[in-house]
């Protein structure tokens, strides 16, 4: 029997970023029960910086939830659960999937969460005789109801600690015990165990990154060892703390800055770190645009579409495993593998005496993500480079421009550069477009699926650009030389570090974060642009290891 556990889902509504509202009382009670036992120093900590930004309450992303299922459940059950999942898909709105703003839970989403947990419980119940011993290591293979009874407390304590990333509170254990007894009495021990599993899979303590922030409003608290372990695990592995992290917490070895640095270096060297690298670079290059994209192109097929959706993550995995791991290499490498499903997209590259590609920006997926259904976009690509790769400001779009009228007389010209020339000349447009368009010109040789080309409508594409933006100054004949200049610029290095900071903290930076962020960018520069060192620098920053009391951005 699978239950509708309504008492767990009411708490999804009205979450406001403060811990006290995180779980309808459960998480707050857990924090109270653990007071003084979690290694937290309740005195006001000494920050290296004068302040840090407020941290909103975060729900784990849909990708993180899938990885959590993989790490918690028997392998066959996790695979089925992910394949049939109705868990609400994380929508990225102006940032990353880790952002609290991308993970708010509506009434409809809370129902999806309930339905998903119920569905997984049903899958478990269908094959309970095989799966129960895999889920409960203390249960013998040939078990009876009494064995489940005897094993339950040990299972709940261990499973709950891993799922909630902290020891369960007395109140939470009591709820689970009462649930088990009620269902067991009506439908038997296996049904009781199924109900307990369903409870865990929709529990707010699993779904939300809850962090205590007791103290005077505007003050600061050091994260507890359990909270630090959770942040580290989500940043580096997109999942739960591993056994070494849990041991460090238990043994009092995850409290100081040196402790955090040690664990960060260990985690960034693990194979599982590829998850975060793949997810970040997929989202940084806006690969999620390709999830629902269609392209009118001879090479387009279901296989091409699937491969493009995966390419940015695959590139990041290769970059982490096979290169020196520096930002310069990420941006300028001339040789990288591609999925065989994209062979027709990349086939023109083989005819060139020198590779027309330079790093992540010129992968087919990155170029396809910054394009339209049947055309490239000089403006979209230019804005992407300026704002997203170099973090340079642009004036807001003036709302009274007659674009159709401005461009109408040029619509039949053969190349996009020629068709958009009025934007560079019209006074109302030129203020922005003399900066934007030149950053898009060199990338016109990559079409709307990212395939390389040299002509458009039979006319050779002019890839030259006069650039004057930040420290990127001069005449650039093609995308390769422009990317090399961008990769050497302080703006691009700092911008990349800033995006990782946002991804790691799950929020945009605020003015209060300037000190922490400065420390991160300086450490990144001092390392020669080593991306692994960048992540370690973020992990040891004040913004990562401490929390502001109150004032979280919503």
Contact 382, 438 (CB under 8 A): yes
What band does 43 get if pLDDT is binned at 50, 70 and 90? low
What band does 25 get if pLDDT is binned at 50, 70 and 90? very low
Q: Tell me: the pLDDT tens digits for 168-191?
A: 999 999 999 999 999 999 999 999
What pLDDT is attached to residue 405? 60
> How much of the chain, in percent, has pLDDT values that exceed 70?
89
Average pLDDT, the chain: 90
For residues 436-463, average pLDDT: 97
Fill in the DSSP letter of residue 4. Answer: -
CA distance 314 to 293: 19
CA distance 254 to 277: 24
What band does 239 get if pLDDT is binned at 50, 70 and 90? very high
Taking Cα atoms as reference points, which of 273, 181, 198 lies closest to residue 235? Answer: 273
Contact 523, 424 (CB under 8 A): no
Cα Rg of the chain, angstroms? 26
> How much of the chain, in percent, has pLDDT values that exceed 90?
78
CA distance 97 to 122: 29
CA distance 46 to 67: 35
Taking Cα atoms as reference points, which of 338, 256, 200 lies closest to residue 540? Answer: 256
Here the tokens at position 543 are 């913004």
Contact 197, 131 (CB under 8 A): no
CA distance 125 to 179: 16
Here the tokens at position 460 are 């050779």
Distances in Å between the Cα of 160 and the Cα atoms of 135, 146, 152, 375 are: 12, 21, 11, 51
CA distance 358 to 332: 5
Q: What predicted TM-score, i.e. pTM, was given to this entire model?
A: 0.91
Phi-psi region of 219 (alpha: psi -120 to 50; beta: other; left: phi over 0): beta
Q: CA dihedral defined by 104, 108, 110, 112, rounded to 10 degrees?
A: -120
Alpha helices by DSSP H, 251-301: 257-268, 274-284
> For residue 111, what are the β-bridge partners?
none
Buried-exposed string 53-71: b where 16+ CB fall within 10 A, e elsewhere: bbbbbbbbbbbbbbbbbeb
Taking Cα atoms as reference points, which of 343, 334, 333 lies closest to residue 311? Answer: 343
What band does 258 get if pLDDT is binned at 50, 70 and 90? very high
What pLDDT is attached to residue 219? 86
16: pLDDT strictly greater than 60: no
Give the pairing of strands 208-209 and 220-222. Answer: unpaired
Q: Strand, coil or helix: what is 85?
A: coil
Residue 339 burial (CB count, 10 A): 19
136: pLDDT strictly greater than 90: yes
206: pLDDT strictly greater than 60: yes
Mean pLDDT is lowest, of 12-16, 250-254, 383-387, 389-393, for 12-16
| Residue in the block written with tokens 């420390």 | 519
């Amino acid at each position: 029997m699978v239950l509708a556990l309504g008492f767990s889902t009411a708490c999804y509504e009205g979450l406001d970023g403060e811990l006290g509202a995180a779980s309808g009382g459960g998480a707050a009670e857990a924090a109270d029960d653990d007071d003084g036992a979690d290694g937290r120093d309740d005195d006001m900590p000494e920050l290296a910086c004068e302040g840090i930004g407020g941290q909103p309450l975060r729900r784990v992303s849909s990708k993180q939830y899938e990885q959590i299922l993989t790490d918690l459940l028997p392998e066959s059950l996790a695979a089925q659960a992910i394949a049939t999942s109705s868990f609400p898909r994380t929508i990225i709105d102006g940032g990353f999937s880790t952002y609290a703003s991308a993970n708010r839970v509506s009434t409809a989403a809370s129902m999806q969460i309930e339905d998903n947990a119920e569905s997984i419980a049903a899958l478990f119940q269908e094959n309970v005789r095989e799966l129960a011993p895999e889920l409960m290591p203390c249960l013998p293979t040939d078990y009876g109801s009494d064995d489940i009874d005897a094993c339950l407390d040990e299972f709940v304590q261990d499973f709950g600690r891993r799922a909630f990333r902290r020891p369960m509170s007395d109140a939470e254990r009591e709820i689970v015990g009462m649930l088990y007894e009620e269902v067991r009495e009506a439908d038997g021990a296996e049904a009781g165990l199924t109900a307990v599993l369903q409870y865990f899979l929709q529990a707010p303590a699993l779904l939300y990154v809850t962090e205590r922030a007791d103290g005077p409003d505007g003050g600061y608290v050091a994260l507890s060892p359990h909270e630090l372990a959770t942040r580290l695990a989500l940043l580096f592995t997109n999942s739960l703390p591993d056994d070494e992290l849990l041991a460090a917490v238990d043994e009092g070895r995850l409290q100081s800055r040196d402790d955090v640095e040690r664990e960060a270096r260990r985690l960034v060297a693990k194979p599982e770190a590829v998850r975060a690298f793949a997810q970040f670079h997929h989202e940084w290059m806006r690969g999620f645009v390709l999830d629902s994209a269609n392209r009118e192109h001879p090479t387009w097929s279901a296989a091409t579409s699937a491969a493009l959706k995966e390419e940015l993550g695959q590139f990041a995995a290769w970059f982490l495993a096979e290169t020196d791991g520096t930002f310069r290499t990420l941006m300028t490498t001339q040789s990288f593998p591609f999925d065989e499903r994209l062979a027709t997209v990349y086939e023109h590259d083989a005819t060139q005496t020198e590779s027309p590609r330079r790093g992540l920006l010129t992968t087919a997926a990155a170029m396809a993500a910054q394009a339209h259904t049947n055309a490239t976009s000089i403006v979209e690509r230019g804005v992407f480079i300026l704002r997203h790769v170099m973090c340079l400001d642009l004036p807001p779009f003036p709302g009274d421009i007659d674009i159709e009228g401005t461009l109408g007389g040029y619509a039949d010209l053969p190349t996009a550069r020629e068709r958009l020339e009025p934007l560079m000349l019209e006074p109302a447009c030129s203020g922005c477009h003399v900066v934007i368009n030149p950053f898009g010109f060199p990338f016109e040789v990559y079409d709307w699926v990212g395939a390389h080309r040299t002509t458009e409508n039979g006319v050779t594409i002019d890839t030259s650009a006069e650039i004057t933006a930040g420290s990127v100054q001069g005449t650039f004949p093609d995308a390769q030389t422009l990317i090399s200049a961008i990769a050497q610029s302080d703006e691009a290095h700092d911008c990349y570090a800033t995006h990782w900071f946002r991804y790691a903290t799950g929020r945009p930076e605020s003015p209060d974060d300037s000190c922490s962020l400065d420390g991160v960018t300086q450490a990144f520069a001092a390392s020669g642009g080593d991306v692994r060192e960048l992540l370690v620098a973020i992990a040891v920053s004040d913004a990562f290891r401490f929390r502001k009391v109150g004032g979280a951005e919503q």
